């Protein structure tokens, strides 16, 4: 019965890099919706450690953050019994398929990737080949599991488009091999902006710590950061063009409370920005508190996290190895 349901469900896959501390942008745009996904889809959630070494990492930090992202997945409602949670480097097929797909990806296509251009400007001293072929590895992550839907932020749309092109190209040269994936971009919360420069996306690697609210920030820090959030010279809490700071705070408030913008405008009618910012801080801290509590419990139990990783890697490998075997056969590799 369960097997049958699983067979009928579509597959979703997403990945998060274990670099940098995740923000409420990651939470509202992705993590907080993941739980509901597991009902609808057969889900794979991956900690993409292979992707993170495209920029220099401190090994001990990379290791710690790998546990942290896994713990966050679980703390945000992903049940390891209902979906496959795993670490990318534990499933060697990712690297293997990535190589094969790189021979179906054009130099010109990779050169046009805006993230590559941005990252090479930022890390001018380390423009390595991995940074360039990063999207091919991402395509491998997705195509290995024949994913139908890929929950991603707007910034990853171009990479997903490339994954689709690679899949179609391969399918066209050989015969249908890969499912061509669709992006799944959440409407609300997908665009949480920086608190310091609200025309810019909130980024976990922002040098200005006041610009970002992190999932694991303490209550005091969260409240303080919202108090410092950049607004405008108007005094009225309402949505309007040009009021980027307030629009962003209203989005965040709406995400944590479920209230509509009209309701929020009424609630803060005649009250100043100070009151509003304090309220946003409160609802954000309240909303994150249960996640943080569960996260701490999980981080104190490494053995449990390792068991999840191990089971996840086994489950993931079963699907991934089938895809790789199929690809190798089609390419003409000798199978023993
Ligand atoms: N590139 C993605 C990011 O930085 C992370 C990622 C890697 C990913 N592999 C993926 C996301 C597969 C979705 C599916 O956000």
Pick the catalytic residue: 119, 225, 243, 277? 119
- 231 in ligand 1 pocket by Cβ < 6 Å? no
**What average pLDDT does this structure show over 154-176?**
96
Q: Which of 138, 158, 161, 203 to mutate to test the pocket of ligand 1 (most atoms within 8 A of CB)?
A: 138
pLDDT for residue 34: 80
The proportion of the chain whose per-residue pLDDT surpasses 70, expressed as a percent, equals 97
pLDDT for residue 33: 81
Domain boundaries, the chain: 2-190+302-331, 209-296
Angle between helices 129-144 and 93-102 (to 10 degrees): 110
- Kindly compute the dihedral angle of the four CA atoms of residues 45, 315, 61, 288, in this order, to the nearest 10 degrees: 40
Closest of 281, 256, 253 to residue 267, by C-alpha: 253
pTM (2 d.p.):
0.91
- Sign of torsion over alpha carbons 13, 70, 311, 36: negative
Q: Do domains 2-190+302-331 and 209-296 have the same CATH topology?
A: no
Pick the catalytic residue: 9, 10, 82, 204? 204
Q: What is the mean pLDDT of the chain?
A: 94
Structure confidence by residue, pLDDT tens digits, 290-322? 999 999 999 999 999 999 999 999 999 999 999
The CATH fold of domain 2-190+302-331? Rossmann fold (3.40.50)
56 sits in the region (left: phi over 0; alpha: psi -120 to 50; else beta) called: beta
The proportion of the chain whose per-residue pLDDT surpasses 90, expressed as a percent, equals 86
Closest of 25, 6, 5 to residue 16, by C-alpha: 25
**What average pLDDT does this structure show over 190-210?**
91
**Ligand 1 centroid to residue 14 C-alpha, Å:** 6
Is the pLDDT at 1 greater than 60? The verdict is: no
For 209-296, the fitting CATH number among 1.10.240.10, 1.10.10.10, 2.30.40.10, 3.40.50.300 is 1.10.240.10
Residue nearest atom 9 in ligand 1 by C-alpha distance: 138
Q: Is 157 a catalytic residue?
A: no
**Ligand 1 centroid to residue 15 C-alpha, Å:** 5
The tokens of 328 are what? Answer: 């190798």
The tokens of 254 are what? Answer: 């709406």
């Amino acid at each position: 019965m369960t097997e049958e349901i699983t067979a009928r469900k579509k597959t979703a896959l997403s990945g998060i890099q274990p670099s940098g501390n995740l923000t409420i942008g990651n939470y509202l745009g992705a993590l907080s919706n993941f739980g509901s996904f597991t009902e609808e889809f057969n889900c794979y959630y991956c900690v993409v450690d292979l992707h993170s070494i495209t920029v220099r990492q401190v090994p001990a930090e990379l290791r710690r953050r790998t546990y942290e992202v896994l713990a966050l997945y679980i703390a945000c409602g992903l049940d390891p019994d209902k979906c496959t949670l795993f670490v990318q480097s534990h499933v060697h097929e990712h690297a293997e398929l990535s190589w094969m797909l790189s021979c179906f990806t054009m130099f010109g296509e990779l050169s046009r990737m805006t993230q590559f251009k941005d990252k090479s400007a930022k890390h001018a001293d380390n423009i390595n080949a991995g940074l360039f072929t990063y999207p091919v590895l991402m395509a491998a992550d997705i195509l290995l599991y024949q994913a139908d839907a890929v929950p991603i932020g707007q910034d990853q749309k171009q990479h997903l488009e490339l994954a689709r092109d690679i899949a179609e190209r391969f399918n066209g040269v050989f015969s249908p091999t890969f499912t061509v994936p669709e992006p799944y971009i959440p409407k609300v919360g997908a665009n949480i902006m920086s608190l310091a420069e609200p025309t810019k996306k909130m980024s976990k690697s922002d040098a200005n710590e006041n610009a970002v609210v992190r999932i694991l920030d303490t209550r005091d820090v969260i409240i303080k950061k919202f108090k410092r959030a950049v607004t405008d010279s108007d005094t009225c809490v309402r949505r309007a063009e040009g009021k980027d700071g307030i629009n962003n705070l209203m989005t965040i408030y709406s995400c944590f409370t479920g209230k509509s913008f009209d309701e929020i405008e009424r609630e803060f009618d005649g009250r100043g920005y100070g009151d509003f910012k304090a309220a946003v801080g409160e609802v954000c801290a309240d909303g994150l508190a249960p996640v943080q509590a569960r996260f701490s419990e999980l981080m104190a139990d490494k053995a449990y996290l390792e068991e999840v990783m191990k089971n996840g890697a086994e489950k993931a490998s079963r699907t991934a190895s089938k895809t790789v075997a199929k690809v190798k056969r089609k390419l003409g590799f000798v199978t023993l």
